[in-house]
Structure 1
Amino acid sequence: MSGATSDDMGCCRVWFITGCSQGLGRALLEEVLASGERVVATARNPQSLHSLAMRYPKLQLLVLALDVTDRTQISDAFRSAKAHFGQVDVVVNNAGYGIQSEIEATPESEARRMMETLYWGAVHVTQEAVSIMRDVNHPHQGGLILNISSIGGYIGNATRGFYNSAKFALEGFTEAFNKEMLPEWNIRAVIIQPGGFNTEWGGSSMAYNKPHALSVQFRQMTKGKSVFNGDPCKAAQAIMQVADMREAPLRVQLGTDALMLVRSKALQTLEDTYRHEALAHSTNADGVDREAVMAKLGAVRA
């Protein structure tokens, strides 16, 4: 067996990672273990982590079965983590999947299942995590929650409508969550926005076949893995750097594609606000001092 010894275990963080069987979750799990830190690794099929369980001692790695759509399983997993390690310091909401499907071609049951996994699963994991980070960890120790979103959590794309919806919801939840955490709890959350990575994705459904349809063009552009720039192992290393930051930003992009797409949309949004500023002001009630409102809300004028 490799990994940290029992003498090392009292001085390192405990990570709780969902969706560890493959892709980014698996890469992050291996990176955290190699660094000597402790991990609660969860997957719907824990047998997929058997090789790692044989390599690392139980003092460092706890493998648990977890379907994040099952709230009872989530509670049981955190209960086991607390009993095994006594604390949880970093939670990574990574479990998820994607489908490539036009909105018209996606069964509602499939869209709802995606929301249950990508959004509600992360919400319920976060709620359980807070109770440990606030009430079980040492006072003021707090904790960090890393919500794995996507460039698709900031920008909508054809054939990704319901995936986008779930990730947009997760990002809004994360922003509100941070504003509810009291400073003395020292609990914070960061949104991780990966671009295109060579990981496993789900199936596809097609409703349109006209060459000029944006969804058809997007499907053609993304059907080969060569279009993706990201290396999951390097992403795992970057996520660990984020976990070490004293003051991490709300959002962190992974990949040049993610960085440039986010930057482009943010600039376009800002430009739109200035272009249509008069329309926004026109809806104020009579007597409202718009300059005073702007100053109060910290507006930055060009």
Structure 2
Amino acid sequence: MSLPKIWFSSSSGFGRHMTELALQSGDIAIATLRSPAALADLASQYGPDKLLILRLDVSKPDEIRVAFAKAKEAFGRIDVVFNNAGSGLMSEVEGTPDDVARAMFEVNFWGAANVSQEAVRFFREINVPAGGRLLQVSSSGGVQGLPAIGYYCASKFAIEGLTEALADEIRPEWNIKVTLIELGGFMTNAGRSMVRSVPPPAYIDIERKIATARAYLTVNPRMPSDATKGAAAIYKMALTPDPPLRFVLGKDSLEKVKKKGENLIAAAEASAPFSEGLGLDLSVLSARR
């Protein structure tokens, strides 16, 4: 009989579904969030040997280190880090206040980056035997930029690039697997909690009285996918022997990622003739020396 896995995650939004599934599956959950009281219902169902609830604001590196230290003290190891803390921002690029965009990047990029570093260190230096799974929650918006959420997409593009580099830096003997999860639209409370800026006048259709770039978004738009079913798919993938670097989840995300891949290939092929003849003439360089 295999030992229960120990999961570390932010337990709001999609992370709440992952925490509940891990507990229902007999695993152990370290649930982190800014307001621990939000998990009072789970705390009443599961004892401290199954559920550890910690206050954590991922924009504060010291709190990240403390959370991992408390996880070590409680359970001695962590098997899976579901790195999903994040915030949304609806704002046209031209009308986004710098301080608002930077605050989102503190969570979506720097927070995720700092959790990733601590997770890799923990997997390598604390776990015996060494190893673990880092599940990096991204979005189809980290592959294809979308109107009215440009800075959100930029934060996800940034964490995608960092994660690709991190995955290549990890030595095979550490037994650490990294997966980028590119989520489509799932029904959570993300729409209600999204920060919204005032649209610049130039982006408002005077006749229809709407901000055209964000017309496809509503206060809490109905998303095409069920978060509970999505969590089950992620759980299954995370426990496979060789999880992929990229895990695209949701039909809408599949369509966006496929289309972006096709467009990139087409762009490379169309640009190829312009790269002909750009090689350095080494004989000329040698003569100059």
TM-score by length of 1: 0.86
Q: Which residue of 1 aligns with 2:287?
A: none
Instruction: Check conservation: 1:193, 1:252, Cα contact below 8 A.
Output: yes
1:24 equivalent in alignment to 2:14: yes
- CA deviations over 1:51-104 (Å, ceiling 9, x no partner): 101101111100000000111111100000000000011001111110110112
Separation (CA, whole Å) in 2 of partners of 1:276 and 1:70: 43
- Give the one of 112, 137, 147 matched to 2:136: 147
Separation (CA, whole Å) in 2 of partners of 1:204 and 1:243: 34
SS of 2:86's partner is: coil
Over 3 Å counting, the alpha-carbon distance change for 1:286 and 1:216 in structure 2 is farther
Separation (CA, whole Å) in 2 of partners of 1:75 and 1:154: 30
Q: Tell me which amino acid in the other structure corresponds to 2:97.
A: P
- Give the one of 33, 36, 40 matched to 1:46: 36
Q: Tell me which amino acid in the other structure corresponds to 1:13.
A: K
1:100 equivalent in alignment to 2:90: yes
- Aligned pairs for 1:131-280 (under 5 A) are 131-139=121-129, 141-199=130-188, 200-201=190-191, 202-205=194-197, 206-207=199-200, 208-210=203-205, 216-223=211-218, 225=220, 227-280=222-275
Over 3 Å counting, the alpha-carbon distance change for 1:78 and 1:230 in structure 2 is same
**C-alpha deviation, 1:49, in angstroms:** 0.6
- CA deviations over 1:9-49 (Å, ceiling 9, x no partner): x811111002x13x211111111111010010000000001
- Give the one of 52, 65, 74 matched to 2:55: 65
> Which stretch of the first structure deviates more once superposed, 59-68 or 222-231?
222-231
SS of 2:155's partner is: helix
Q: Tell me which amino acid in the other structure corresponds to 1:51.
A: D
> Which stretch of the first structure deviates more once superposed, 267-276 or 183-192?
267-276
Instruction: Check conservation: 2:185, 2:224, Cα contact below 8 A.
Output: yes
Identity of aligned residues (%): 39
> Which stretch of the first structure deviates more once superposed, 89-98 or 218-227?
218-227
Separation (CA, whole Å) in 2 of partners of 1:254 and 1:69: 26
How big is the alpha-carbon RMSD for the aligned residues of Structure 1 and Structure 2? 1.9
SS of 2:247's partner is: strand
- CA deviations over 1:145-184 (Å, ceiling 9, x no partner): 0010001111111111111111011001110001111000
Instruction: Check conservation: 1:211, 1:217, Cα contact below 8 A.
Output: no
**C-alpha deviation, 1:197, in angstroms:** 1.6
**C-alpha deviation, 1:187, in angstroms:** 0.8
Number of aligned positions between the proteins: 275
Q: Tell me which amino acid in the other structure corresponds to 1:149.
A: S
TM-score by length of 2: 0.90
Q: Which residue of 1 aligns with 2:6?
A: 14
Separation (CA, whole Å) in 2 of partners of 1:11 and 1:262: 36
SS of 1:133's partner is: helix
**C-alpha deviation, 1:204, in angstroms:** 1.6
SS of 1:222's partner is: coil
**C-alpha deviation, 1:225, in angstroms:** 4.8
**C-alpha deviation, 1:210, in angstroms:** 2.9
Q: Which residue of 1 aligns with 2:279?
A: 284
Instruction: Check conservation: 1:190, 1:252, Cα contact below 8 A.
Output: yes
**C-alpha deviation, 1:283, in angstroms:** 2.6
Instruction: Check conservation: 2:132, 2:175, Cα contact below 8 A.
Output: yes
SS of 1:192's partner is: strand
Separation (CA, whole Å) in 1 of partners of 2:103 and 2:253: 26
Q: Tell me which amino acid in the other structure corresponds to 2:232.
A: Q
> Which consecutive unaligned segments of at least 5 residues does structure 2 have?
284-289
